[in-house]
């Protein structure tokens, strides 16, 4: 019987570790957190120094019971959740549930899951870190106080189902303020004048007018530009001083969490959430020819520190693969941010010798793409700089001074492996070749090929992409790298932001919620205040600040603002947002209503006037009502009234103008023509609730579900089975629809089993690992069939 019990939070991590510890260890997984604050109440005792009321999470009682049984049989219990605040909290909660004295537990920190690292960490365990746990508790309670007390206010004032968050709402403010800066932007006209020249030898080159009559040349109109052109066009173009120098470009540091999310978005198009999910799998271990092994170090880190042995290994690889010229005399070192936890390492391969080519057979496409990105960045960070020859020449003609710049790479250095991406979407290495200049010497006369005057306009600031927003959050100290993916996902899930050409823009709901929160909670919504709280939480972790006092200092002003907001916050629900748009029917002002299917314009004279209209906003944020749809000329077959075109959550449809007296509706086909109402098909089974016949009913969104034929007297219904058993519990997987109308596939035993997938399961075993089913993934590039277990493409 095993003498020791080691507990991690992930089953995949448990499988990797178990292979290296031998028979003396039993390895169990908690499958994430086992306790949390309750869902249906605040769960914080405000009058007892903010004591959290933790309870075992629904569905985790069996996990806790199994851990307790295993702990009773073990001499020693090792707690090995992730080496960060969240992992420390999981370790403490497991310890408290198992019931042993806290000092009896061994805390193990795995920064990478390789054999040597695992054995070394288990051989030198630490004690539970109370300060780190307190920091996580403080963050959890802060987030609960804000979320659970402001969100109900939004339900009352705006609409049900909304949420506010201590960090998420500040991130939303950044997006909203950027959008309004774009709308308020006034383009400024400016001109440039470029001379296209030739020397004694090729190539031809361009020089831009930098000074005119001794002053910087910055014309804002065509007249001034043409005056300068006329003054220089007949002059002799003479080469003035020519400056040549070497320029070195150094490699970027190895990845930390935030920079990995940014680069994966720029280069691979991955969202932060997707990036972190893939990184988690690479860290927890993949089956290779060497057995299960973690391929990267821990992926939640803000430190650029690298372990000495890893650096020595990669330097050897660089010398062997690329040559000694690519290896600097001593290892490159990088400075972390002041708040970085230097106990962690940067994100790197656990071995540089596991090249992407060698790992290709064990990883699916997405995993391999991310692994290659991490491997390339790590190798490049220890390589020699790229070297360029830069030339700048001054050229005169009459009262004009032109400047020409040229750059050519003379040694690629680290760029042979990796070049950092750009947020503007141009990831090509534009610095390598800025234009070649021919041999030039002072006093040389050049031939004028032509003068090119060009009009330009200044551009507004760009919308945030997910990558640039992560960068902004990090630079301003808002949140922590481990929270960025969740912040972005929540903003999208709540309908506060939308994507326009891969960039983030606030929705109408996002604008409303942001404005209400800024008006009622100005301090909480301040970027500086939120960043200050992050520093305070760091101080709690360092042991220099008491977490309960921190919560007290926050809650006093917050509770006062909350009391004022109960009566002072603007009421949107039932009233709408006022606009300057006139109702086309009665002339009264229209208001913006926030419906469950989106925002729309409605007459403020409702119910006397029931005019509504969809709308959009122009580039300045002004409301533009959509043109009213043409009369379809269709008569309601139920009551004889004319039918009108309405827009629902699944698109346009026909509805009787006599609503609500007549609720008849009809679909519209792809061409906008009236279609027939979908008919139900008999299933051949009895309703378990009333004994009636079950039928298969189509939905307006193109899906299907099973319902009782006695509806509405009997409201029994269930999802449509897809012919695949749930991999977690063995029940049927069925087709379902989310609140926002998107089809997904989940277990019929929900809520007892929470298995779900956005991709349709197909009852075909995997051709590689024989997993019982595969998934049909539909993307912009087309449809592909992949295995959910091994990731193998079935095409």
Cα–Cα dist 662/635, whole Å: 12
CA distance 356 to 359: 5
Catalytic residue among 78, 270, 283, 298: 298
ω into residue 471 within 30 of 0, thus cis?
no
3-state secondary structure 441-464: CCCCEEEEEEEEEEEEECCCCCCC
224 to 165, 229, 230, 399, 637: CA distances (angstroms): 53, 9, 10, 14, 71
Q: Are 622 and 592 in contact (CB under 8 A)?
A: no
* Phi and psi at residue 562, to the nearest 5°: -65, -45
Take residue 6 and report the two structure tokens written for it: 């080691």
**Count of alpha carbons within 13 angstroms of residue 50, beta-carbon side:** 21
Q: Which residues pair with 19 in a beta bridge?
A: none
Are the CB atoms for 421 and 427 separated by under 8 Å? yes
CA distances (Å), origin 48, targets 51, 56, 146, 776? 6, 21, 18, 52
Burial of 761 per CB tally in 10 Å (0-12, 13-18, 19+): buried
Phi, psi (rounded to 5 degrees) for 7? -115, 125
Residue 231 buriedness (CB in 10 A; 0-12 / 13-18 / 19+): middle
Q: How far is CA 546 from CA 531, 532, 537, in A?
A: 18, 15, 9
Q: Supply the angle between the helices 11-21 and 272-284 in degrees, to the nearest 10.
A: 20
Q: Dump strand ranges (E) for 533-576.
A: none
Is the bond preceding 603 in cis, omega lying within 30 degrees of 0? no
Would you call 20 a catalytic residue per the annotation? Answer: no
| Angle of the 481-493 helix axis to the 466-476 helix axis, nearest 10 | 130
SS3 state of residue 793? strand
Phi first, then psi: give them for residue 360, nearest 5 degrees: -60, -35
Instruction: Name the residues annotated as catalytic.
Output: 298
């Amino acid at each position: 019987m095993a003498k020791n019990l080691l507990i991690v939070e992930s089953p995949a991590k448990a499988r990797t570790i178990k292979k290296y510890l031998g028979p003396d260890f039993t390895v169990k997984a908690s499958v994430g957190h086992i306790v949390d604050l309750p869902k249906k109440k605040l769960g914080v005792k405000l009058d007892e120094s903010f004591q959290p009321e933790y309870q075992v999470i629904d569905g985790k009682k069996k996990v806790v019971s199994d851990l307790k049984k295993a702990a009773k049989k073990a001499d020693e219990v090792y707690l090995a959740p992730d080496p960060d605040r969240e992992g420390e909290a999981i370790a403490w909660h497991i310890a408290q549930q198992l019931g042993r004295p806290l000092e009896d537990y061994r805390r193990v920190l795995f920064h990478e899951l390789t054999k040597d690292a695992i054995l070394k960490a288990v051989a030198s365990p630490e004690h539970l870190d109370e300060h780190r746990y307190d920091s996580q508790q403080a963050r959890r309670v802060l987030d609960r106080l804000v979320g659970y007390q402001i969100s109900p206010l939004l339900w009352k004032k705006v609409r049900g189902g909304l949420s506010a968050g201590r960090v998420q709402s500040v991130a939303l403010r950044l997006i909203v303020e950027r959008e309004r800066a774009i709308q308020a932007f006034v383009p400024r006209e400016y001109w440039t004048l470029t001379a296209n020249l030739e020397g004694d030898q090729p190539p031809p080159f361009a020089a831009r007018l930098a000074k005119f009559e001794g002053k910087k040349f910055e014309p804002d109109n065509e007249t001034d530009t043409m005056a300068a052109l006329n003054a220089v066009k007949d002059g002799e173009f003479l080469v003035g001083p020519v400056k040549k120098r070497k320029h070195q470009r150094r490699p970027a540091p190895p990845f930390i969490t935030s920079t990995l999310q940014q680069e994966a978005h720029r280069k691979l198009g991955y969202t932060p959430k997707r990036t972190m999910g893939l990184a988690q799998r690479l860290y927890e271990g993949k089956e290779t020819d060497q057995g299960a092994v973690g391929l990267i170090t821990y992926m939640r880190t803000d430190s650029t520190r690298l372990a000495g042995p890893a650096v020595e290994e990669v330097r050897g690889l660089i010398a062997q693969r690329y040559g000694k010229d690519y290896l600097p005399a001593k290892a490159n070192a990088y400075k972390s941010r002041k708040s970085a936890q230097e106990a962690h390492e940067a994100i790197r391969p656990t071995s540089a010798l596991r090249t992407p080519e060698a790992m290709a057979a064990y990883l699916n496409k997405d995993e391999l793409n991310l692994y290659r990105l991490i491997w390339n960045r790590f190798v490049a960070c220890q390589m020699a700089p790229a070297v360029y020859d830069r030339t700048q020449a001054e050229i005169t003609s009459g009262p004009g001074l032109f400047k020409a710049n040229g750059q050519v790479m003379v040694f690629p250095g680290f760029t042979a492996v990796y070049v950092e991406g750009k947020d503007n979407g141009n990831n090509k290495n534009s610095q390598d070749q800025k234009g070649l200049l021919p041999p030039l010497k002072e006093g040389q006369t050049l031939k004028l090929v032509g003068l090119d005057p060009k009009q330009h306009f200044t551009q507004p600031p760009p919308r945030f992409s997910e990558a640039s927003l992560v960068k902004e959050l990090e630079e301003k100290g808002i949140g922590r790298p481990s929270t960025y993916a969740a912040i972005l996902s929540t903003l999208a899930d709540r309908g506060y932001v939308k994507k326009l050409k891969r960039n983030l823009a606030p929705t109408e709901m996002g604008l409303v919620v942001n404005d209400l929160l800024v008006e009622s909670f100005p301090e909480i919504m301040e970027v500086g205040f939120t960043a200050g709280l992050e520093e305070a939480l760091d101080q709690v972790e360092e042991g220099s600040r008491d977490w309960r006092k921190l919560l007290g200092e926050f809650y006093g002003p917050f509770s006062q603002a909350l009391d004022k907001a109960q009566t002072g916050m603007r009421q949107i629900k039932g009233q709408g947002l006022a606009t300057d748009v006139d109702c086309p029917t009665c002339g009264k002002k229209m208001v913006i209503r926030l419906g469950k299917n989106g925002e729309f314009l409605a007459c403020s004279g409702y119910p006397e006037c029931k005019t509504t209209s969809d709308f959009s906003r122009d580039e300045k944020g002004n409301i533009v009502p959509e043109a009213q749809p043409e009369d379809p000329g269709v008569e309601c077959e139920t009551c004889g009234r004319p039918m009108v075109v309405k827009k629902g959550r699944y698109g346009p449809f026909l509805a009787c103008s006599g609503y609500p007296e007549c609720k008849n509706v009809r679909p519209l086909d792809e061409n906008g023509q009236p279609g027939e109402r979908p008919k139900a098909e008999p299933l051949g089974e009895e309703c378990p609730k009333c004994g009636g016949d079950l039928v298969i009913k189509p939905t307006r969104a193109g899906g299907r579900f099973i319902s009782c034929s006695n509806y509405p007297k009997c409201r029994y219904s269930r999802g449509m089975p897809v012919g695949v058993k749930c991999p977690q519990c063995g029940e049927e997987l069925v087709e379902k629809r989310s609140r926002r109308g998107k089809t997904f596939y989940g277990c019929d035993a929900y809520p007892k089993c929470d298995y779900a997938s956005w991709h349709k399961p197909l009852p075909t075993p995997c051709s590689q690992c024989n997993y019982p089913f595969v998934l049909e993934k539909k993307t912009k590039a087309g449809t592909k069939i992949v295995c959910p277990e091994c990731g193998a493409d079935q095409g």
